Amino acid sequence: MKSSPPADGPLLQVQGVGKRFGRIHAVDEVSFDLWPGEVLAVVGESGSGKSTLLNLVAGRLAADSGAVLYRSQDRGLEDLVTMDEPRRRYLARSEWGFVHQSPRDGLRLKVSAGANVGERLMALGARHYGRIRGAAADWLARVEVPLDRLDDLPETFSGGMQQRLQIARNLVTAPRLVLLDEPTGGLDVSVQARLLDLLRNLVADLDLAVVIVTHDLAVARLLSHRMLVMQRGRVVETGLTDQVLDDPQAAYSQLLVASILQG
């Protein structure tokens, strides 16, 4: 058995993290903590730095400044900003999930649905074919992909089904931290509702720690405990989701909330 890390403490501590692209300050001095089992929504309009922040948190982009401390199972607190690439890849396989806005970025479209899920277990050392296939089938059922599609290529799936498959691929390894970038972004409204419902149940059942990026305040309302409102790379407001949405304090959050009410 692995020794368990101290339960008392955030899973993730983002401390004054910053990222520039040329003259654009995409993320500017952003800080937040994420506790085990907590769902944090990052909201803001297009271009406010949400995806950049998520990529900094995943170590997919190197921050120019600040620290991203992650509490791993085996080593305790580690800084993603200075972590070497093999270690980052190991954590990405074993402890994290990352769901892209476009399933095309998070799936292998020319490999069967079952293999898309199963290969994540193989990457962690699973070798027993029957068990891998069984786990893949279980996960397809959980995300409501019909079992007779197990051997089909994801490129033959609808957008909603592809996104559900991407979620299965990212949860099959029982990650501790899941990062989602606009997971309902490209989908029709009715398909979005079903995916959100599914996500909400999975997050609760698996007790996941989640950072979800969205420009849709209804998504934040449904899924998150706390939220962080970004404008031009900065956090302009943070608080409990219901509090921020019912009584926004920052002028920018007031505008965001008003614009959806007029929607």
Binding site for ligand ADP (CB under 6 A): 21, 24, 26, 44, 46-52
Minimum distance from CB of 215 to ligand ADP (Å)?
Answer: 7
- By CB under 5 A, name the binding residues for Mg ion: 51
DSSP 173-233: T--SEEEEESTTTTS-HHHHHHHHHHHHHHHHHHT-EEEEEES-HHHHHHH-SEEEEEETT
Kindly tell me which of 43 and 143 has the beta carbon lying closer to Mg ion: 43
- Give the Cα separation of 176 and 191 in Å (integer): 27
Q: Out of Mg ion, ligand ADP, none, which partner does residue 59 contact, by CB within 5 to 8 A per kind?
A: none
What is the C-alpha to C-alpha distance for residues 33 and 23, in angstroms, rounded to an integer? 28
Is 168 in contact with 3 (CB distance < 8 Å)? no
Between the two ends of the chain, the Cα-to-Cα distance in Å is: 52
Binds 44, which of ligand ADP, Mg ion, none (CB < 5 to 8 A, cut-off by type)? ligand ADP
Of the pair 37, 185, the CB lying nearest ligand ADP is at 185
Closest to ligand ADP by CB, 50 or 71: 50
47 binds, among Mg ion, ligand ADP, none (CB under 5 to 8 A by kind): ligand ADP
Residue 76 tokens read as: 């305790």
CB of 117 vs ligand ADP, minimal distance in Å:
27
Q: Which is nearer to Mg ion, 117 or 179 (CB)?
A: 179
| In the complex, minimum distance from the CB of residue 156 to ligand ADP, in angstroms, rounded to a whole number | 29
For residues 230 and 246, give the distance between their C-alpha atoms in angstroms, rounded to a whole number: 17
Closest chain position to Mg ion (CB): 51
Q: 49-72 in b/e burial notation, b at 16+ Cβ within 10 A? A: bbbbbbbbbbbebebeebbbbbbb
Quick one: DSSP state of residue 5? P
**Residue 238 contact partner, candidates ligand ADP, Mg ion, none, CB within 5 to 8 A by sort of partner:** none
The least CB distance from residue 145 to ligand ADP, in Å, is 28
> 49 is in the binding site of which of ligand ADP, Mg ion, none (Cβ under 5 to 8 A by kind)?
ligand ADP
Which structure tokens are listed for 205?
């059942």
Nearer to ligand ADP, 52 or 224 (CB): 52
CB of 52 to ligand ADP, least distance (A): 3
What is the closest distance, in whole angstroms, from the C-beta atom of residue 213 to Mg ion in the complex?
6
Which residues face 42 on adjacent strands?
Answer: 213, 228
